[in-house]
Structure 1
Amino acid sequence: MIPARGGSKRIPRKNLREFAGRPIIAHSIQAARDSGLFDVVLVSTDDEEIASVARAQGADVPFLRPKALADDHTGTQAVVKQAIEAVAAWRSSPEQVCCLYATAPFVRAADLAAGLASLDTSGADFAFSVTSFAFPIQRALRLGADGRVGMMWPEHMATRSQDLEHAWHDAGQFYWGRAEAFLAGVPLYSNAAVAVPLPRHRVQDIDTEEDWRRAELMFQVLQAEG
């Protein structure tokens, strides 16, 4: 299930914007189709143009998402839940669901397969992509209104970086889960989930123009490396 609403604010029409010669959503659809893992590659959108592009790229869009689930405050899990319920009415109830973001051009079919394998072998409710922070978060700085600097965790001022716990964050690419867990609202960031680590050079959140440009440059380098 690829969520792709039409009302992106920070990057207007983000889900349809051209990235490396194609609408960015096309990269996610292709990775899902190339993986061979899915009975249905479904795009959840409230937008007719996005629906049309998604169908042209080989995805199913059997219904439009309700407008009430397409605003700035609706969480991903609510969108997944609605999609599961709609798919159950459309054809049959799914057992496993993967929420794959529309703006994840670095996602690979092999990563999706690794996520499903982790879900199956772990017995967890969820398996989702993570990557490591490039710098120890315990050394994070706080900037005051006057521009003065302070440490968020001053107790670690003299701690060697190699002695600090490694920290991870959501890679913002995909979230495998058992349908019943999504429907029950089981928290994603909990011990109900297992992590699927990805290298930092294949992870870039795309929320601003700066993010977009960085992602394009990263993509060009990865393509050149083959």
Structure 2
Amino acid sequence: MRVAIIPARGGSQRIPRKNIKLFAGKPMLAHSIATAQQSGVFDRILVSTDDEEIAAVAREYGAEVPFLRPAELADAYTGTSAVVRHAIEYLKIQEVMPEYVCCLYATAPLLLAGDLQAGLHSLENSTSEYVFSATSYGFPIQRALYKDEQEQVHMFAPEHRSTRSQDLIEAYHDAGQFYWGRASAFLNEKPVFAQHSRMHILPRHRVQDIDTPEDWQRAELLYQLLQLG
């Protein structure tokens, strides 16, 4: 069994009610649900929330909300892995233990169904524990700079001051879109960012964290530009 788990708590602070705020004409959460549905790879699509209004929106757009998340898993300090484990354990009690689980973020309107399909294919055809979305940095991280308390500029890696860009190792970061994993890996609390994981690389123009109003506006512009609606 393959299950999508979409975490969507109600207490977002920097963008109030972020998960159900209208984005391109429909609640933000609805975009992730639609992408999961379009991928055709899930037996069940669950939303994990502590909020009745979010639960109602999730059900309206075709997702299941079989439980309300307990308060201790709905504060600003609870990690995603704990939320996913809670949902898997719920399914296990119901005797519908999944083999593969995809934690899909509620704020991923630029994600395509094909990305979820490719992530699953990569996981199924490997010995990896996880496959997660990632993207490359737009500038060599070996050339990163910082300033000290006196405003003086320093390089993080001064040994690469004169190294040609093409000779530097390309670096990637978590794209914050989805995390495919074996249910056993989530339950055993294996770390995602480790040698037993693979990356599904997304182009930088389809990656945007949505934590601030400026992020939201940029994501909407990208969505319109890419004609994803």
TM-score normalised by structure 1 residue count: 0.97
Instruction: Tell me how far apart the structure 2 counterparts of residues 166 and 4 of structure 1 sit (CA, whole Å).
Output: 33
> Deviations for 1:68-125, whole angstroms, at most 9, x for unmatched residues?
0111111111110000011222351111100000000011111000000000111211
The answer for the alignment partner of 1:26 in structure 2 is: 30
Spell out structure 1 runs of 4+ moving beyond 6 A.
none
Q: CA deviation at 1:151?
A: 1.0
Q: Equivalences for 1:119-134 in 2 at 5 Å?
A: 119-134=123-138
Instruction: Tell me how far apart the structure 2 counterparts of residues 222 and 198 of structure 1 sit (CA, whole Å).
Output: 14
Instruction: Tell me how far apart the structure 2 counterparts of residues 81 and 190 of structure 1 sit (CA, whole Å).
Output: 18
The answer for the alignment partner of 2:58 in structure 1 is: 54
Q: Equivalences for 1:207-222 in 2 at 5 Å?
A: 207-222=211-226
Identity %: 62
Q: CA deviation at 1:9?
A: 1.4
The answer for the alignment partner of 1:109 in structure 2 is: 113
Residue 126 of structure 1 aligns with an amino acid whose one-letter code is Y
Instruction: Tell me how far apart the structure 2 counterparts of residues 147 and 53 of structure 1 sit (CA, whole Å).
Output: 49
**Contact 1:128/1:196 (<8 A) preserved:** yes
Between 43-52 and 204-213, report the one with greater CA deviation: 204-213
Provide structure 2 residue ranges, at least 5 long, that are not aligned to the other structure.
none
Aligned-pair Cα RMSD in Å = 1.2
Residue 140 of structure 2 aligns with an amino acid whose one-letter code is P
The answer for the alignment partner of 2:191 in structure 1 is: 187
The alignment status of 1:14 with 2:18, answered yes or no, reads yes
Between 82-91 and 45-54, report the one with greater CA deviation: 82-91
TM-score normalised by structure 2 residue count: 0.95
The answer for the alignment partner of 1:199 in structure 2 is: 203
* SS of 1:102 mapped into structure 2: coil
> Deviations for 1:102-155, whole angstroms, at most 9, x for unmatched residues?
000011111000000000111211011111000001111102234332111111
**Contact 1:69/1:78 (<8 A) preserved:** yes
Residue 93 of structure 1 aligns with an amino acid whose one-letter code is M
Instruction: Tell me how far apart the structure 2 counterparts of residues 8 and 103 of structure 1 sit (CA, whole Å).
Output: 12
Instruction: Tell me how far apart the structure 2 counterparts of residues 177 and 213 of structure 1 sit (CA, whole Å).
Output: 31
The answer for the alignment partner of 1:99 in structure 2 is: 103
The answer for the alignment partner of 2:89 in structure 1 is: 85
The answer for the alignment partner of 1:177 in structure 2 is: 181
Provide structure 1 residue ranges, at least 5 long, that are not aligned to the other structure.
none
Aligned pairs, number? 225
Instruction: Tell me how far apart the structure 2 counterparts of residues 37 and 84 of structure 1 sit (CA, whole Å).
Output: 17
Instruction: Tell me how far apart the structure 2 counterparts of residues 91 and 4 of structure 1 sit (CA, whole Å).
Output: 24
The answer for the alignment partner of 2:122 in structure 1 is: 118
Instruction: Tell me how far apart the structure 1 counterparts of residues 97 and 70 of structure 2 sit (CA, whole Å).
Output: 20
The alignment status of 1:41 with 2:45, answered yes or no, reads yes
Q: CA deviation at 1:194?
A: 0.7
The answer for the alignment partner of 1:73 in structure 2 is: 77
Instruction: Tell me how far apart the structure 1 counterparts of residues 166 and 14 of structure 2 sit (CA, whole Å).
Output: 37
